[in-house]
Amino acid sequence: MISSSHFFVFLTAATLLAVSPGPGMLYVLARSLRGGRRVGLASSLGTATGGLAHVVAAALGLSAVLARSANAFLIVKYAGALYLIWLGVRALIAKSPTPSETAAAGATSVALNTGADVLVVMMAAPLQRRLGASALWRRRQQQAAGRALIGLGGYVAVTS
């Protein structure tokens, strides 16, 4: 069992990481600005589900298997990179989207990240209403998201 002092240190670090802007938070922000509060909250739920799946996989030892098997790790790595690149290309070539198109420590971290994402959604929703009327803004946002996903996919593919 983790001591309360160690858990407090973990909780502090996890909170700082959760409120620091990263790819997940930028994804939720972009989805909120494009589709509003409902789409942003759905995106937050999606990132939370992915985070919990990662925690369960680690608890079941899947992370250890991937860490020990270079081939399995490379397959997962390149599949993820290709998926990100595919999402980016799709965002770049798509027409302007409509809103409709558009273990305990690990679980604590996911909850903090999701909380930060929900806060971003709540702050972005009023801005989305103002920017939603601009076709130029929607297109620029779509292009930026596509380029970011392609870049992230390329980064994942070439890093060790």
Tell me what pLDDT residue 160 has. 72
Tell me what pLDDT residue 101 has. 42
Instruction: Compute the distance between CA of residue 36 and CA of residue 22 in angstroms, rounded to an integer.
Output: 20
Instruction: Compute the distance between CA of residue 89 and CA of residue 39 in angstroms, rounded to an integer.
Output: 21
Tell me what pLDDT residue 10 has. 75
Domain ranges of the chain: 4-158
- Low-confidence residues in the chain, pLDDT < 50: 98-102
Tell me what pLDDT residue 1 has. 62
Please give the single-letter amino acid code of residue 122: M
